[in-house]
Amino acid sequence: MNPSDTIAAVATPAGAGGLAVLRLSGREALGVADRCLRSSRGRPPSAFTPRMAVFGEIHRDGVRVDDGVITVFRGPASYTGEDTVEVACHGGLLVTRRVLEALLAAGARPAEPGEFTCRAFLNGRMDLAQAEAVADLIHARTDRALVSARAQLAGALSGRIEDLRDALMSVLAHLEAHIDFPDEDITPDTTTVLASKLTQALGGIDALLRTARQGRFLRQGVRTALVGRPNAGKSSLLNRLLGHERAIVSPVAGTTRDTLEESAQVRGIPLVLVDTAGLRESDDLVEQEGVRRSRQAAAEADLILHVVDAADPGADPEAPIPGCEGKVLLRVANKCDLPEARVLPGTIPVSCRTGDGLDSLERAIEERLLSGDVVGGDDGVAIGVRHQQVLQRARQAVCRTLAGLEEGLTLELVAFELRVALNALGDVVGKTSVDDLLDSIFSQFCLGK
């Protein structure tokens, strides 16, 4: 990405629609716009009142390509912090391509994925954590994910990181002062105070790290394997959780021979539901492969729903499920509406036929996955994988700093470890970020954002 270029891209999804929005940004954005855009009265965009929508025309080589609404944003009061022009034209595939070609022919180059948001970061319009939240906001699949993304975009995570950096910076300032004036020995009381501040900061880092699992669930979905013996009602439960008929349901045992994946949401939590073949011994080679895949799905899942038939006298809700070690496991007793259904301790009784008990199951899923708390705490923060890795690095450095103080290591070594922690925290918001990291992050964005 060359930040000195003027870039253009279609900011709306590909496909035919009522309208499409194209974005143009850079030092020469207004010059490029003046060469191919004008108002219906012939005025160039450089003469437009900023942030006022103006009906106009798009031209290329003197030929009108389309009509549309043109809006000029003068930097730094724009999304990117640069002069920016947005064009809303008709949303056909061909006409949108022709409008983009007109912008490129006038002097812009095609934007790379995430380049507009990257420029917003580089120009100080947002920090790195907020920039990442833009992608989370776009890809949010549930209300909980949306709340979390909006909180991060509003600076909730950035604020907590800055508080941690301020606390560690205060400790580092004390250490640096004693290094600069070696005749002034650091007293035991001072060491105790500094250690207390570091311990408090460590608690703040740990609090953020505890939101990592919730963050992963919200961004990637909770892989949920429905396992159990044949004809227990796994496919019926899948259909109930989806809210529509997706899997084939039959009274014939062994209908499901392969895994079937579908996405759903339960109480604002995105689930990737995996219906599996019934677990039983079989001489059928196809069914054996289905059972193998069922066990693999359980091993890869975050949540396992063990479905048993409450009307089956031989049903064992305590039967071991291979691969469930360390996973969230809920045992579900289906067919509780039947007269012969038994009460099975340790299970959640449901009827996939009538829908009875589904609310209790959904509540149990929410409580087990999120411990009944609002995602990320009161401020909605739920960190991502990159944040987790960086914070773990910061945590290790703070622990080494604490150990160094307690062991009486030279202050230079202690201060070095503290700087490592500060740099790691800076990586969360982009205060020490390098080009490779930025390329990795923004390459995952969509075009036009």
DSSP state of 365: H
Query: pLDDT at residue 376 above 60?
Result: no
Query: pLDDT at residue 336 above 70?
Result: yes
pTM equals: 0.80
pLDDT tens profile 68-79: 999 999 999 999
Least confident of 3-7, 196-200, 247-251: 247-251
Query: pLDDT at residue 32 above 50?
Result: yes
Give the separation between CA 203 and CA 200, rounded to whole angstroms: 5
The pLDDT of residue 287 is 61
Of these ranges, 225-239, 278-292, 361-375, the one predicted with the greatest mean pLDDT is 225-239
pLDDT tens profile 251-263: 655 555 567 888 8
Percent of the chain residues topping a pLDDT of 70: 90
The pLDDT of residue 256 is 57
Give the separation between CA 430 and CA 212, rounded to whole angstroms: 19
* Alpha-carbon distances, residue 374 vs 16, 55, 219, 291, 345 (angstroms): 39, 45, 16, 37, 29
The mean pLDDT value for 175-200 works out to 77
Query: pLDDT at residue 104 above 90?
Result: yes
Least confident of 175-179, 183-187, 230-234: 183-187
| pLDDT band, residue 373 (cuts 50/70/90) | very low
Percent of the chain residues topping a pLDDT of 90: 54
Give the separation between CA 250 and CA 257, rounded to whole angstroms: 13
The pLDDT of residue 89 is 96
Q: Which domains does the chain have, with CATH numbers?
A: 7-126 (3.30.1360.120), 130-211+382-430 (1.20.120.430), 219-370 (3.40.50.300)
Query: pLDDT at residue 22 above 90?
Result: yes
How many helices and strands in the chain, by DSSP H and E?
14, 13
Bridge partners (DSSP) listed for residue 348:
332
Cα torsion at 78, 79, 81, 87 (round to 10°)? -60
Give the residue with greater pLDDT, 233 vs 99.
99
**Beta 109-110 vs 7-10: how paired, if at all?**
parallel
Query: pLDDT at residue 374 above 50?
Result: no
| pLDDT band, residue 247 (cuts 50/70/90) | low
The mean pLDDT value for 261-282 works out to 82
Query: Which pair of structure tokens corresponds to residue 161?
Result: 């990181």
Amino acid letter, 220: Q
Contact 274, 224 (CB under 8 A): yes
pLDDT tens profile 113-157: 999 999 999 999 999 999 999 999 998 888 888 999 999 999 999
Give the residue with greater pLDDT, 431 vs 96.
96
pLDDT tens profile 312-325: 888 888 887 776 77
Give the residue with greater pLDDT, 258 vs 398.
398
The mean pLDDT value for 264-288 works out to 78
Query: pLDDT at residue 59 above 70?
Result: yes
The pLDDT of residue 250 is 56
Query: pLDDT at residue 433 above 80?
Result: no
Length of the chain in terms of residues written: 449
Query: pLDDT at residue 182 above 70?
Result: no
The mean pLDDT value for 12-28 works out to 93
Query: pLDDT at residue 237 above 50?
Result: yes
**Tally of CB atoms within 10 A around 204:** 17
Of 63, 53, 51, nearest to 19 (Cα)?
A: 53
Query: pLDDT at residue 66 above 90?
Result: yes
Where do the DSSP E strands lie in 251-409? 260-266, 269-275, 303-309, 328-334, 348-349
**pLDDT averaged over the chain?**
87
| Helices of type H across 44-155 | 93-105, 115-122, 128-139, 143-153
